[in-house]
Chain A
Amino acid sequence: TQLTQSPSFLSASVGDRVTITCRASQGIGSALVWYQQKPGKAPKLLIYGASTLQSGVPSRFRGSGSGTDFTVTISSLQPEDFATYYCQQVKNYPLTFGGGTKVEIK
């Protein structure tokens, strides 16, 4: 199952509302995970089951979608949110990741 993320690059300011999209090549129900990765670090789990916030993740992150179209929205971008975001489908093997969305400071 291919995952297409958009945009691949996003420039935004602190306080902005940001939305990242992930589209699956076939229906995957809600088997979609979002990760955040900062340079030199392992990915960090943000959202699983398409919309369930991992414990400890700020409520400004929100995941939605099902089937083939998914989004993660950051309601008010904070300095610590500048990072690269990846979606991952966990419905079918081989597991696959989206190409990533780099969120940079405008």
Chain B
Amino acid sequence: EVQLVESGGGLVQPGESLKLACEASGFPFSGSSMHWVRQASGKGLEWVGRIRNEANSFATAYGASVKGRFTISRDDSQNTAYLQMNSLETEDTAIYYCTLPEGGGDSFKFNYWGQGTRVTVSS
């Protein structure tokens, strides 16, 4: 059974940093790409970014609102993906989900999601 468990959320002040983790199990993690999606309270879903597997050079991509501030990494020995968030802004307050994609091309989709971890940026 696929399981994704996020951790590391909390309350931080604007300008501070936070690192989220997504521990995965139940599938071949090292061969998979991993994505992060966030959702502000009462708002819609926003794609944050992704990291590919080693065969794809661990390539990363980010949404415009986080590019240059957030970094996604992974530790395949620990089956864990990370989201390093720097220079946090109040607008980054959200629930952060990690997701495991399946399929390719037009069949690409997010079939598995973690339970989410809440990040609050406030002074």
**A residues in contact (CB < 8 Å) with B:** 29-31, 33, 35, 37, 42-43, 45, 48-50, 52, 54, 86, 88, 90-91, 93-100
Contacts and interface: CB of A to CB of B under 8 A. Distances in A.
B108 A48 contact: yes
B15 to A, nearest CB: 25
Interface residues on B, range: 20 to 34
B64 interface: yes
6 contacts: A35-B110, A43-B97, A45-B109, A48-B103, A86-B45, A90-B109
B26 interface: no
Interface stretch (B73-81, B84-92, B113-121): B113-121
B63 interface: yes
Contact of A49 (B61, B107, B110, B113): B107
Nearest to A44: B113
A37 B45 CA distance: 10
Contact of A31 (B44, B46, B108, B113): B108
Contacts of B103: 48
B106 interface: yes
Contacts of A45: 109-111
A24 B64 CA distance: 18
